[in-house]
Amino acid sequence: MDISGSIYSFPKEIKLLIGSFLVVLSIGFFLGLSFVNETTNANPDGIETQYLGNEDIEDAPTMKFKKSEREILTLVHNHMLSLSVIFFLLAIILSTTDLNKKFKLFLMIEPFASILLTFGGIYILWSGVLWFKYVIIFSGILMTFSFVASVFVILMQLFQKK
């Protein structure tokens, strides 16, 4: 099988492999976002409560305790490693698409900055810098935008004839 530099010229089997990968990856990615929404209500105070707890609020609907350092380090470590691999693979596939070079470069590199800001930000928030919850939200939204845009471009070009 000859894989040249353009997604249009990939063999049918490779296109199906990439398409299947992107569908399953997207399901996993959006299940993760669903979990984030479930645990934080996708708002700044929910993010703060998720990691710093709410044991000082007597009538809290759900009691949450501050995460231990071990829990935070495990969460940050696991997410930084796994998302780095996911976005690296996505960037390799995206590099074969016919897209404006600057926009393509943005979609390939931006997720790595967002990974650092989102998960490094969780550690910084946990350390007591409360305003960092806004950085976490912004970088998480930007990471999601990059993911959706990359998958959309790849899928559109994957089964399109040039």
Number of DSSP helices (H) and strands (E) in the chain, helices first: 5, 0
The tens digit of pLDDT for each residue in 35-56 reads 999 999 889 999 999 999 888 8
Residues of the chain under the 50 pLDDT cut = 1-4
Predicted confidence at residue 60, as pLDDT, reads 77
Other Cβ atoms less than 10 A from the Cβ of 135: the count is 17
- Which residue, among 82, 77, 51, has the nearest Cα to 64 in the 3D structure? 51
Predicted confidence at residue 162, as pLDDT, reads 67
Give CA–CA dist 48/132, Å, rounded: 9
Residue with tokens 């996708």: 42
The tens digit of pLDDT for each residue in 91-113 reads 999 999 999 999 999 999 999 99
Cβ atoms 154, 22 nearer than 8 A: yes
Other Cβ atoms less than 10 A from the Cβ of 155: the count is 15
